[in-house]
Chains A and B, each alone.
Chain A
Amino acid sequence: MADLTTDFVGIKSPNPFWLASAPPTDKEYNVRRAFEAGWGGVVWKTLGEEGPPVVNVNGPRYGAIWGAERRLLGLNNIELITDRPLEVNLREIKAVKRDYPDRAVVVSLMVPCEEEAWKKILPLVEETGADGVELNFGCPHGMSERGMGSAVGQVPEYIEMVTRWVKQYSRMPCIVKLTPNITDIRKPAAAAHAGGADAVSLINTINSITGVDLDIFAPEPTIDGKGAHGGYCGPAVKPIALNMVAEIARSPEMRGLPISGIGGVTTWKDAAEFMALGAGNVQVCTAAMTYGFKIVQEMISGLSQFMDEKGLTSTSELVGRAVPNLSDWQHLNLNYITKAQIDQDLCISCGRCFAACEDTSHQAIAMSDDRVFTVKDEECVACNLCVNVCPVEDCITMVEMQPGQTDPRTGLTVQKDYANWTTHPNNPGAVKAAE
């Protein structure tokens, strides 16, 4: 069986599945049960300064959107950092780490943007025996109104400054957790890198309003008739998170900077995708909050099976494997031509492909009187929409045309050679091929 152990910035864990800093890691009771269930590590729920802890709202703090069968697709929250006293958390962290020395225990921190505050808390954390710290520069609600969380994460200079303090006052590995509520994720990542961070983790939650109560005209979740924006996570945010992880992974200036991938990881497959795009491990929150700790068993068995099937013996062989294949649009091969093809044995004649292509694409699907659906190669531009709307998996596939064949849509012969936009005749800025 494939070896799932990971070494992330020197922190070892039996598998790459960590619980993200959030309610699942808010106390000893949870974390012990998570470790018993098999999680490789945890990032403890974010700790704040010493003194009276923050308070949470006493009404609903979550909102959600659902897919078919009420499958939870996206979760929104307005929870703050831990609302339990610092010393209680520290005591529990110490006890858990002592009992589970083989598991990763990283402590998430958020204190005001003052050197003293950081200088004060770091030794207390170090004393617990925790494996590292994660700087929460991502929480987009509540704490950001107080100049913390994403208010820091949105200003690269602050990120760099705080990261330096942390490196200065502690010898623990330092992971900087980034907010996605920003235009170019490479800027804050580069700032963390410059400040000496050992790794970045991303994404934290995305600013969101999940819905509006149409009876009282207030955003949900609603507290006494009012709502505030929250942070969005769960399966719906995965595509955004994957892109941000990949942007950092392929940026030349941050080459080699370890990344902990977070955002919508729900199955082993999501985890494998994050890792292939450059994440050294993954962190999970919503999936655990939706299904409980047991899902890690599926993640472990699924990832091992996949790695065995691919002949990968350790997670490091998986990490970053898809990064070289992430390209810019302008470098995609315009001579690669495919056509949609419908497998008539699988087709159930629902007509969704027809409605989609006829009404909104290229009128490339024909429908016969007896509901047989076929692709008109002379119209199909290979957009893939029919594949995406077909309810039957693998019923419509994209079939590659071979060099020498004639594309019935354009009447042109399919070329064997690669050619992209940069040299295309329609491109005003095309680089002229050498004479």
Chain B
Amino acid sequence: MDPKMLSEGIVAGRRSAGQLAEAFDDLHPPLTEHEALVAADRCYFCHDAPCTVACPTDIDIPLFIRQIATGTPEAAARTILSQNILGGMCARVCPTETLCEEVCVRETAEGKPVLIGQLQRFATDTLMAADVHPFSRAASTGKRIAVVGAGPAGLACAHRLAMKGHDVVLYDARSKAGGLNEYGIAAYKSVDGFAQAEVDWLLKIGGITLENGKALGRELALEALRSEFDAVFLGVGLGGVNSLGVTGDEKDGVRDAVDFIADLRQATDLTALPVGRDVVVIGGGMTAVDAAVQAKLLGALNVTIVYRRGKDRMGASAFEQDLAASRGVRIITNAQPVAVHGNGSVREVEFAFTDDALTPTGQTFRLPADQLFRAIGQTLNGDGLPELDGRKIAITGAGRTSVAGVWAGGDCAAGGDDLTVTAVAEGRDAAEDIHAQLMK
């Protein structure tokens, strides 16, 4: 074994550039045209198709697959994008195994669904490779709308509003647009700078002014936006991270998984990105899996995910769990952290086994760790927001908040799964509602 793999502590260069390039390559390589035709042929063109019902953005899946099968992937892309303007990203990141593909009748029939996600990627990639933006704007309405947060929810909302003829200013606190598409999604799901390319392509609709580095609560205030604009949409996602609430949580080497992932996504040279030798990730969702798998791919020797409940309660789908296992990540369930040990830096993490009601069984164990990632959920940040429902912004109907003229959608809004595709659906629907309201 390469001695670099064994060096202790959080160090860079555990693997060579070549090894890293291979490790972080496309999780599902794009289908060739032949593969796409073979895959498309399997679709039965179902009536009132279950896959479409399962898609949060209601893409007409049998129609777009038929369009691929008949040699018109560009038309298929239009079918997809008219419902889901981030159909390209969703094709890469949607947990299709729990959405459209789970209910595909060919999953029922043979346990092998039609490859809906990969076909969607084939269609959208074909259109985007031709550098075509298939939508145009309606005549100007003279209305101006502020969209705060340029993640999937904000982008989908802004695009739909621009299409309807409104002028949109799209604010984002970060220096790049895209939200978690740019800073959060696992690197092997969105290779070759796809997130930015998609944002650039989306903005071709026109009528959207992007303003980066502008944060609500810093440069922007909700009241001021309300008076300056005809409507406001909030798509700020979940900026905060839950803490572990155990002693030692502040030691060096303990980090939020989302920050590690953001660094990784923004790194231009992965050989310069440090990672521990013994990495422990606490949590059970997609973020935990992504942090663990990517730490492993970077060259960590031992990576362990520890989740406090049973395997079946994990937020990460069975597919994601298998992916982690196949990359050599160990998953321990029914254990919660009780202390982080170490002298300044983390050395060990102590866990207590728990039963399904989260009651400690009395047995404990320790895992060596030089790096510990918190992935136990994100929280909404900010003051002066509309009323909350629990820890997220309360909404009624298509994203209407407690404040007149303010809509919200995506992860920051209550209800719905925290998924890219859900955020797109909510942003789009809020835009339709805003349009209906403003044009009354």
Q: Of A68, A352, A391, which contacts B47 at CB under 8 A? A: A352
Q: Which residues of B contact A371 (CB under 8 A)?
A: 48, 50
Interchain CB contact under 8 A, A68 and B41: yes
B105 at the A interface (CB under 8 A):
yes
Given the complex of chains A and B, what is the CA–CA distance between A392 and B46 in angstroms?
13
A114 at the B interface (CB under 8 A):
no
Of B38, B45, B46, B49, chain A has the most CB atoms within 10 Å of the CB of B46
Stretch binding the partner chain, chosen from A183-191, A333-341, A343-351, A422-430: A343-351
Given the complex of chains A and B, what is the CA–CA distance between A350 and B62 in angstroms?
11
Closest beta carbon of chain A to B115's beta carbon, Å: 14
Q: Which residues of A contact B106 (CB under 8 A)?
A: 348
Decide yes or no: A350 and B44 within 8 Å by CB, A371-B50, A392-B109 being known contacts: yes
Interchain CB contact under 8 A, A351 and B41: no
Closest beta carbon of chain A to B218's beta carbon, Å: 49
Q: Of B37, B46, B50, which contacts A352 at CB under 8 A? A: B46
Residues of B within 8 A of A (CB-CB), count? 15
A363-404 CB contacts (< 8 Å) to partner B: 367, 371, 391-392
Given the complex of chains A and B, what is the CA–CA distance between A70 and B33 in angstroms?
13
Q: Which residues of A contact B49 (CB under 8 A)?
A: 351
Interchain CB contact under 8 A, B108 and A69: no
A355 at the B interface (CB under 8 A):
yes
Per-position binary interface string of chain B over residues 19-51, scored 1 when its CB falls under 8 Å from any chain A CB and 0 otherwise: 000000000000000000110011011111110
Q: Which residues of A contact B48 (CB under 8 A)?
A: 351, 367, 371
Closest beta carbon of chain A to B333's beta carbon, Å: 33
Residues of A within 8 A of B (CB-CB), count? 14
Q: Which residues of B contact A348 (CB under 8 A)?
A: 105-106, 108-109
Given the complex of chains A and B, what is the CA–CA distance between A348 and B46 in angstroms?
10
Closest beta carbon of chain A to B191's beta carbon, Å: 30
Given the complex of chains A and B, what is the CA–CA distance between A69 and B37 in angstroms?
8
Interchain CB contact under 8 A, B41 and A69: yes
Q: Which residues of B contact A349 (CB under 8 A)?
A: 50, 105, 108
A137 at the B interface (CB under 8 A):
no
Nearest residue, chain A, Cβ from B107: A348
Q: Which residues of B contact A350 (CB under 8 A)?
A: 44, 46-47, 105
Given the complex of chains A and B, what is the CA–CA distance between A367 and B41 in angstroms?
25
Q: Which residues of B contact A355 (CB under 8 A)?
A: 47
Given the complex of chains A and B, what is the CA–CA distance between A355 and B47 in angstroms?
6
A87-105 CB contacts (< 8 Å) to partner B: none
Q: Which residues of B contact A392 (CB under 8 A)?
A: 109
Interchain CB contact under 8 A, B44 and A352: yes
A18 at the B interface (CB under 8 A):
no
Closest beta carbon of chain A to B44's beta carbon, Å: 5
Nearest residue, chain B, Cβ from A389: B44
Nearest residue, chain A, Cβ from B53: A371
Interchain CB contact under 8 A, B44 and A391: yes
Closest beta carbon of chain B to A306's beta carbon, Å: 28
A248-299 CB contacts (< 8 Å) to partner B: none
A354 at the B interface (CB under 8 A):
yes
Closest beta carbon of chain A to B187's beta carbon, Å: 35
Q: Which residues of B contact A68 (CB under 8 A)?
A: 41-42
Q: Which residues of B contact A354 (CB under 8 A)?
A: 47
Closest beta carbon of chain A to B74's beta carbon, Å: 15
Per-position binary interface string of chain A over residues 123-143, scored 1 when its CB falls under 8 Å from any chain B CB and 0 otherwise: 000000000000000000000
Closest beta carbon of chain A to B61's beta carbon, Å: 13
Nearest residue, chain A, Cβ from B34: A70
Per-position binary interface string of chain B over residues 292-307, scored 1 when its CB falls under 8 Å from any chain A CB and 0 otherwise: 0000000000000000
Nearest residue, chain A, Cβ from B45: A352
B164-184 CB contacts (< 8 Å) to partner A: none
Given the complex of chains A and B, what is the CA–CA distance between A314 and B340 in angstroms?
85
Of B37, B44, B50, chain A has the most CB atoms within 10 Å of the CB of B44
Of B37, B47, B106, B108, chain A has the most CB atoms within 10 Å of the CB of B47
Given the complex of chains A and B, what is the CA–CA distance between A247 and B49 in angstroms?
44
Of A68, A348, A354, chain B has the most CB atoms within 10 Å of the CB of A348
Given the complex of chains A and B, what is the CA–CA distance between A68 and B37 in angstroms?
9
Nearest residue, chain A, Cβ from B42: A68
Given the complex of chains A and B, what is the CA–CA distance between A147 and B44 in angstroms?
48
Q: Which residues of A contact B38 (CB under 8 A)?
A: 69
Enumerate the 9 nearest inter-chain pairs by beta-carbon distance, A residue then B residue, closest first.
A351-B47, A355-B47, A348-B105, A350-B105, A350-B46, A68-B41, A348-B108, A348-B109, A350-B44
**Contacts A348-B109, A391-B44 known; 6 new A-B pairs at CB < 8 A:** A70-B37, A349-B105, A351-B49, A352-B46, A355-B47, A367-B47
Q: Which residues of B contact A (CB under 8 A)?
A: 37-38, 41-42, 44-50, 105-106, 108-109
| 9 cross-chain CB contacts under 8 A | A68-B41, A70-B37, A348-B106, A349-B108, A350-B46, A355-B47, A367-B47, A391-B44, A391-B109
Q: Which residues of A contact B (CB under 8 A)?
A: 68-70, 348-352, 354-355, 367, 371, 391-392
